Amino acid sequence: MYLSEKVTSIIRRAISNLNQIIDTDIEIEVPRIKDFGDFSTNVAMKLAKKLHQPPMDIARSIVEELQQAKPIILKAEAVKPGFVNLWISPNEITNVIHQILSEAEEYGRVNVGNGKRVLVEFVSANPTGPLHIGHCRNAVVGDSIARILKFAGFNVEREYYFNDAGAQMQNLGKSLRARYLQLLGKDEPIPEDGYYGEYLVDIARALVAEKKDSLLHSNDIDFFTAFATKHILDSIKTDLADLKVEFDHWVSESWFHRQGKVDEVIDELKRRNMAYEKDGALWLKTTQFGDEKDRVLVKSNGEKTYLAPDIAYHKNKYERHYDQLINVFGGDHHGYIPRLKAAIQALGYDPQKLRCLVIQMVTLKKGEETMRFSKRKGGFITIREMLDELGSDVVRFFFLMRTIDSQLVFDWELAKDTSIDNPVYYVQYAYARSCSLFKKAQEEKINLNLSGISQANVNLLTLPEEQSIIKHLALFPDVVRRAAEVLEPQFITAYLRVLTSAFHNYFTAGTKNPEYRIVLPDNPELTYARLALVRALQIVIRNAMSLISVSTPEKM
């Protein structure tokens, strides 16, 4: 049991001893101000409303009860509006280190998920071109959310849905055919609403290499489409893999068409009296479920809209019986959510099961120039370029530093500059620095066998700097829990910055005061204790960084 859980349960027991019904979550926090104790809780104020008693009275009774928790709780105080401040036995705090050392990469795991099955769908960009910076935030955030949920006890699957059907695919095939013919010396224009990107020239080259000029008179657009789609999907998969973004399932729209799933779901909607004909088209009654207007499922020319197969897809998700579905949308698609949720209700499914996250837009700032990336407009920086010039650590950390619902200005110069506003190096440097301490210890001939550290007397860690680090380490499971609840990876990056800051602070103290040094050849006992602390720190940094898939180099 984690320290924060221990404290929470002690408070819970105290309240139930007062014969109060607890229907409030007990939240504890580490106060900013030292005089407010190691932990504090606002539970008395929360209960005040329900019990119709003054918060301070409740706080005082809780403090009274907490006298019985003496071994762990040193002191409890009721204060001003109704906070209960707690001072914890130093041994309880330092014991966190041994807990971390023994749990190692498992430390920080929490069980908010309780094995529930969650499907996270993200990126889901169409295979009509390479992924660009606009998709990048979605990819990095979605992937990190999946990692966090997994660590928080959910059974997570990640899915990428790609639209490889419809008119746009025909345009892609036609565009490739034009590029192919151009390479063979023909004067063939790219179709009006085709794809003009250079990447199709590269794919056309591959096609020439493979088929020579045998397709010179071919009108088999489907073949060109398939060839382009395969190449683009492959490059998308490579880009994502290099960005350390993983998927369990790749789901294709055309599969639903081929299997008749789209027609099936349309029939079902008709049967449920949720669809009607008007102006030669088939409409879905999404207004019945709060949408602004009804939406077309089948156009008057017989083609299906984007929505129709997507409904079939989501029906399929529901049929796979996940406990929760998460969709990660780009900011320019938020208007789509009400109609998707409406469609789900039209099929009789529970819309609560589907949680839609909206990741706000990314603007690229390069020097004085700024460019926006709504999906439709051209001119973009690709993920490939970002990876080649910045590396995945920088790209990932940068996109995870902000809350998902605030717009993000990606400052290219700043990202390229290897320090300044880019704290990935700050965090990594702390880790590398901590590693050097073990090298130093080795040079000083201090025996670093594991038992020396694991038997360390951590009660020797009484410096305020040490206590501060340990308290932050103790907080990690809470950070994971909260990040999983609100689905905000930003919690992890923010935590890492605070944690490593505490370490840098501690380390620097040793450069000023020799007694504060971590490696002390004349005092092996204290050295072991301090190295145990550093080891615990390393574990937590690694565990946290793995949640956002950023590396922890030992040297930099």
Partner RNA sequence: GCGCCCGUAGCUCAAUUGGAUAGAGCGCCGGACUUCGAAUCCGUAGGUUGCAGGUUCGAGUCCUGCCGGGCGCGCCA
Site for RNA in 424-443 (CB under 7 A): 425-426, 429, 432-433, 435-437, 439-440
Amino acid identity for residue 143 in this structure? D
Site string for RNA, 493-522 (x = CB under 7 A): -x--x---x--xx-xxxxxx-x-xxxx---
Residues ≥6 apart with Cβ < 8 Å to 26:
8, 11, 12, 15, 41, 43
Q: Are 329 and 375 in contact (CB under 8 A)?
A: no
Tell me how far apart the alpha carbons of residues 125 and 250 are, in angstroms, rounded to a whole number. 11
The distance of Cα 114 from the centroid of its chain, to the nearest Å, equals 19
Using only the alpha carbons of the chain, give its radius of gyration: 29
Measured from the CB atom, is 179 or 333 closer to RNA? 333
148 CB-near residues (< 8 Å, 6+ apart): 480, 483, 484, 487, 489, 492, 547
Q: Is 190 in the site for RNA (CB under 7 A)?
A: no
* 184 interacts with RNA by CB under 7 A: no
Among 81, 260, 348, 464, binds RNA (CB under 7 A): 81
Closest CA to 35 of 100, 65, 79, 74: 79
Contacts with RNA, 99-138, as mask; x by CB under 7 A: ---------------------------x------------
Are the C-beta atoms of 488 and 141 separated by less than 8 Å? no
Q: Quote the CA–CA distance of 213 and 202 in Å, as a whole number.
A: 16
Q: State the minimum distance, in angstroms, from the CB of residue 346 to RNA.
A: 17
Region from 32-40, 67-75, 196-204, 450-458 binding RNA, contact rule CB under 7 A: 32-40
Indicate the residue among 183 and 233 with the shorter CB distance to RNA. Answer: 233
Instruction: Give the amino acid at 471.
Output: K
Shortest separation between residue 469's beta carbon and RNA, angstroms: 12
Question: What is the Cα–Cα distance from 125 to 139, expressed in whole angstroms?
Answer: 10
Residue 295 in the binding site for RNA (CB under 7 A): yes
Taken as a whole, the chain contains a residue count of: 556
User: Binding to RNA by residue 29, rule CB under 7 A?
Assistant: yes
Instruction: Return the residue of 214, 301, 449, 451 that touches RNA, per CB under 7 A.
Output: 301
Closest CA to 63 of 49, 47, 74: 74
Binding part of the chain for RNA, among 29-37, 100-108, 115-123, 241-249 by CB under 7 A, reads: 29-37
Number of amino acids touching RNA (CB under 7 A): 102
**Site residues (CB under 7 A) for RNA, limited to 205-234:** none
Contact positions with RNA (CB under 7 A) in 379-408: 401-403, 405-408
- Residue 303 as a binder of RNA (CB under 7 A): the answer is yes
Longest dimension (CA), the chain: 90
Token pair recorded at residue 146: 């999946």
> Among residues 522, 518, 529, which one has the least CA distance to residue 460?
529
Q: Is 167 helix (H, G, I), strand (E, B) or coil?
A: helix
Residues 6+ apart with CB under 8 A from 198: none
Q: Minimum distance from CB of 276 to RNA (Å)?
A: 12
Q: Which stretch binds RNA (CB under 7 A): 15-23, 315-323, 412-420, 449-457?
A: 412-420
Interactions with RNA, residue window 255-294 (CB under 7 A): 278-281, 292-293
Beta bridge partners of 324: 118
Between 180 and 478, name the residue whose CB sits nearer to RNA.
478
Task: Map the footprint of RNA across residues 133-162, applying CB under 7 A.
Answer: none
Tokens 């849905």 correspond to what residue? 161
| Of 25 and 187, CB closest to RNA | 25
Toward RNA, which CB reaches closer, 36 or 318? Answer: 36
Of 3 and 437, which CB lies nearer to RNA in the complex structure? 437
Q: Which stretch binds RNA (CB under 7 A): 14-22, 200-208, 330-338, 342-350?
A: 330-338
